Amino acid sequence: MPTVLRFDGLRVVIYPNDHRPAHVHVIGADAEAVFELNPPGGPVTFRESMGFRGGALDRIAAVLDEHGTALAAAWERIHGD
């Protein structure tokens, strides 16, 4: 599972054998959330969370939006699309 971004002690990963639509998993110490990338141009969409709360999810979404183009490119590179 390649880590494609790190921030605030979190890892953003893309699983190589994962399914569409393009999305990332955000992994913290005791939590994980999934956001769809919605390329091209985003914005990211929250899909599910196990352990993260509202404020943290808003912050994560904002950071992912800032890096949306690079994350979508990483998805394409990893999945060959």
Helix (H, G, I), strand (E, B) or coil at 68: helix
Could you tell me the residue ranges of all domains in the chain?
3-72
The predicted pLDDT at position 81 comes to: 61
Q: In 10 A of CB 56, how many CB atoms?
A: 17
Look at residue 59 in the predicted model and tell me its pLDDT: 97
Cβ atoms of 33 and 48 within 8 Å: the answer is yes
Angle, nearest 10°, between helix axes 68-79 and 54-66? Answer: 80
pTM: 0.94
The answer for residues whose C-beta is within 8 angstroms of residue 35's C-beta and 6 or more apart is 23, 24, 26, 44, 45, 46, 47, 60, 61, 64
What pLDDT score does 53 carry? 87
Would you state the structure tokens that stand for residue 25, as one six-digit string?
């998993």
Tell me which DSSP letter residue 19 carries.
Answer: P
Give me the tens of pLDDT residue by residue for the chain, a chain 81 residues long.
Answer: 799 999 999 999 999 999 999 999 999 999 999 999 998 888 999 999 999 988 999 999 999 999 999 999 999 999 986
Q: Which CATH architecture has domain 3-72?
A: 2-Layer Sandwich (3.30)
